[in-house]
Structure 1
Amino acid sequence: MTKKKMPYEFDYYVLLFFGLAFIGWLWEVLLYLCTEHAFINRGVYRGPYLPIYGAGGLALCFLLRGFRKKPVRVFFLSMALCSGLEYFTSWFLEQLWGIRWWDYSGHALNLNGRICLLGAVIFGLGGTALVCLLLPLYGKLYGRISRKWRHTLCLLFLLVFIADVTYCAVRPNMGEGISSHTLSRKVTK
């Protein structure tokens, strides 16, 4: 049995993860800046990244790259995959810390306030842009950066991220405007 070789080195995926996590953070910060007229770091962590966007983007990269020439299929699969990830992440964060970082209860066609049709369509569009347009461009940019710089960037990003995750495991970012509401937790003695 032969192993299927990954098309790129590990650093390709690490840099892609952080790039997409930053783009997701930027998207949400700008969205709240325009709608709420306030700068709000919407993530669980302190840094300028939302790992759910990085994880979702990597999942789309691995699962949908072969459909690059079929954007309609990529759109619907992106809607489904990203909505599933968003639902699970919402549930997990609520179980872990008793807080919801987002609530779509006021949006049409929502499921338990965790996902909604509008969000799914936006994920579909973003996933299609990622798979059909951005991944080929990213591949070219990746090839232009020297291996030494790629490895240095990966190490730097990973060290900062690990420190942030460690700190936020005890003190997650729950500041003003972060979540829709805090849920009460039952404490048993």
Structure 2
Amino acid sequence: MADDIEIDLDDLERRMTGAMASLRTEFASLRTGRASASMLEPVQVEAYGQMTPINQVGTVNVPEPRMVTINVWDKSLVNKVEKAIRESGLGINPQTNGPIIMLPIPELNEERRRELTKVASQYAEHARVAVRNVRRDGMDQIKKAKADGMSEDDQKFWENAVQELTDNFVKQVDEALEHKQAEIMQV
């Protein structure tokens, strides 16, 4: 009976993968000086009585390296979309031309680049904490299984497996942070 005790590594891995996906989404919202449609993903617009992502109220295009355009489908939402972008904290000043909102992406100065690398570091630290919390849950499962009769050899095996999984995901977070910081600092 004690040999049947197993730890659900797939669940732990799925949860750690979720932390990585969240980190990638947060990194996508960081402006790097180049236009990208993904930088608008976190921006929500109050449309038809609920908060809606911008890409669901208009077409987002990147016609030039330093310009994002949004062709708002419902003309009554143009001002709401413009207001949402202004209040989003992206540091972009929208220009309206009928149903089209243009977002010129200004060059980032050195000070702003350094600030953005610090923000990226904070996002990465949040992801590391999330991964470590999943690790702690896994270790708690192992302790409970030990109390239920798991052998010491099995305990060591599962602890090593959970730690290896954690180390792998922390390494992925560090690599993603390094890549993002290089992208931000690139002139």
Length-normalised TM-score, structure 1? 0.29
Length-normalised TM-score, structure 2? 0.30
Structure label with greater radius of gyration? 2
Please state which structure has a larger fraction of its residues in strand: 2
